[in-house]
């Protein structure tokens, strides 16, 4: 007897199953973004990272998503720049929103705290702009990073000094973890690489506003280059006071981070900023990857200004996670970790990103190239500043 009722039920079940499978294919893939959006964190940095991350979504979703049609979505949480805020944010994006990986970290302390929870919850973290050694030096399976670390910053400026033929170098550093760390690392690498550089390293308290005593010693040392390792106000004060003591511009100065790209730089240093060297992580004059080029164009269209490093890295990190999901053919965090360790990924900068199980701080770490830029005239837009050095080239 031909049972039409059974057939109908079977057809219905089949249709239902297909519908379900189709629905699963359409379920979006969530990426966690833990960024500082309110004080005491740095909300500006948080916003810039978020801008980049959102454009990465536009890019991949515009191409039809990942895993054969699943859209990407972000779960954004505010860390407030506090470790406990970061822990709560990580738990929420992983526990409630089922994120497959978490990125966006800006404050090192937040990243370190989140990594401790990640260790037990198993969803990987990808540090966006966090520099503390402990983030990768602890060798956690879940911890990854794409930011510049001290040894590479130092390697870059030593290579730059070699290239320029600077033999006597004064390093004037604040007595913070950042400043002392860079002094120690510079000293170590000069000895290790047996470089022909005579180093005068001087330190000063971050609260000092008068650096005349230190600079008088710099002047007496007659260096070829003065490296300015101050952050914030001390960095600006050193630029002014070195000029007052007639050290600069005869002796060129290198600023240890990308502070001169801030909009108020020339207002503070109308006469003293010319010919300044400074470390930067990005320049529009740099050669970028294919997706990096797409990004800068899209960013300029959307925000009517050039992207900065925070946005570029926010974009690049979400892009890496999207590629890892695609390559792993899975949203399982374990599979994603496995893929991150073995795969190759496109980033905003040219060249492939990898996260090898390397020694020490280099574990699961990728650092974008370091640039050294130089202003060519007073009042020059940093985007026009000459790229005088690029690491790895």
Any contact of residue 249 with another protein (CB under 8 A)?
Answer: no
**DSSP-derived pairing of the beta strands 277-280 and 345-346:** unpaired
Out of 11, 26, 122, 217, the residue judged to bind another protein by CB under 8 A: 217
Nearer to another protein (CB atom), residue 102 or residue 238: 238
Q: Does the protein bind another protein through residue 22 (CB under 8 A)?
A: no
Contact residue for another protein among 188, 191, 193, 262 (CB under 8 A): 262
CB of 129 closer than 8 Å to CB of 135: no
CB of 217 to another protein, least distance (A): 6
CB-based contacts of 1: which residues, under 8 Å, 6+ apart?
A: none
Q: What is the CA radius of gyration of the chain?
A: 24
Q: Which CB sits closer to another protein, 221 or 294?
A: 221
Q: Is 202 in the site for another protein (CB under 8 A)?
A: yes
209 binds another protein (CB under 8 A): yes
3-state secondary structure at position 288:
strand
**Closer residue to another protein, CB minimum distance, 210 or 300:** 210
Which residues make Cβ contacts (< 8 Å) with residue 140, sequence separation at least 6? 115, 118, 119
Those residues with Cβ within 8 angstroms of residue 363's Cβ, 6 or more apart along the chain or in another chain:
136, 137, 139, 143, 357
Contacts 24+ apart (CB under 8 A), 22-28: 25/67, 25/68, 25/69, 25/70, 26/69, 26/70, 26/71, 27/70, 28/65, 28/70, 28/71, 28/72, 28/73
If one asks whether residue 267 binds another protein (CB under 8 A), the answer comes out as: yes
List the one residue from 162, 184, 203, 354 that touches another protein (CB under 8 A): 203
The least distance separating another protein from the CB of residue 218, rounded to whole angstroms, comes to 10
Question: From the CB of 269, what's the least distance to another protein, in Å?
Answer: 9
Asked if residue 366 lies in contact with residue 145, where contact means CB atoms within 8 angstroms, the answer is yes
- Binding residues for another protein, rule CB under 8 A, total 30
Rule CB under 8 A: say whether 246 interacts with another protein: yes
Residue 25, interface with another protein (CB under 8 A)? Answer: no
54 belongs to the binding site for another protein (CB under 8 A): no
The single residue among 2, 220, 304, 359 that binds another protein, judged by CB under 8 A, is 220
Q: Is 268 in the site for another protein (CB under 8 A)?
A: yes
SS3 (DSSP) at 153? helix
Q: List contacts with another protein (CB under 8 A).
A: 175, 202-205, 207-210, 212-214, 216-217, 220-221, 232-233, 236-237, 240-241, 244-246, 262, 264, 267-268, 270
């Amino acid at each position: 007897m031909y049972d039409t009722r059974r057939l109908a039920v079977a057809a219905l079940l089949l249709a239902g199953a297909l519908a379900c499978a189709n629905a699963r294919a359409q379920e979006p893939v969530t990426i966690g973004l833990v960024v500082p959006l309110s004080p005491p964190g740095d909300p500006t940095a948080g916003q810039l990272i978020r801008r980049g991350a959102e454009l990465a979504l536009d890019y991949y979703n515009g191409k039809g998503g990942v895993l054969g049609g699943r859209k990407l979505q972000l779960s954004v949480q505010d860390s407030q720049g506090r470790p406990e805020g970061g822990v709560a944010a990580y738990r929420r994006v992983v526990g409630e929103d089922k994120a497959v990986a978490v990125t966006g970290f800006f404050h090192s302390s937040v990243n370190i705290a989140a990594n401790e929870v990640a260790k037990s919850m198993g969803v990987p973290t990808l540090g966006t702009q966090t520099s503390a050694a402990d983030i990768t030096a602890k060798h956690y399976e879940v911890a990854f990073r794409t930011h510049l670390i001290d040894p590479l910053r130092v390697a870059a400026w030593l290579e730059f000094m070699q290239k320029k033929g600077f033999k006597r170098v004064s390093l004037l550093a604040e007595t913070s973890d950042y400043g002392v760390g860079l002094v120690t690392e510079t000293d170590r690498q000069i000895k290790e690489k047996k470089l022909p550089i005579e180093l005068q390293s001087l330190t000063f308290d971050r609260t000092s506003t008068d650096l005349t005593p230190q600079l008088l010693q710099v002047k007496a040392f007659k260096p070829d280059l003065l490296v300015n390792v101050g952050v914030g106000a001390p960095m600006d004060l050193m630029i002014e006071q070195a000029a007052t003591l007639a050290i600069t511009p005869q002796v060129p100065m290198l600023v240890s981070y990308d502070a001169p790209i801030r909009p108020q730089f020339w207002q503070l240093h109308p006469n003293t900023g010319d010919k300044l060297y400074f470390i930067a992580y990005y320049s529009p004059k740099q050669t970028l990857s294919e997706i990096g080029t797409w990004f800068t164009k899209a960013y300029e269209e959307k925000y009517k200004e050039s992207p900065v490093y925070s946005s570029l890295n926010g974009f690049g990190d979400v892009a890496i996670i999207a590629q890892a999901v695609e390559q792993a053919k899975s949203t399982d965090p374990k599979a994603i970790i496995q893929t991150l360790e073995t795969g190759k990924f496109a980033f905003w900068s040219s060249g492939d990103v990898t996260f090898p199980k390397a020694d020490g701080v280099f574990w699961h770490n990728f650092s974008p190239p370091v640039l050294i830029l130089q202003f060519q005239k007073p009042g020059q837009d940093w985007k026009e500043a000459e790229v005088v050095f690029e690491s790895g080239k």
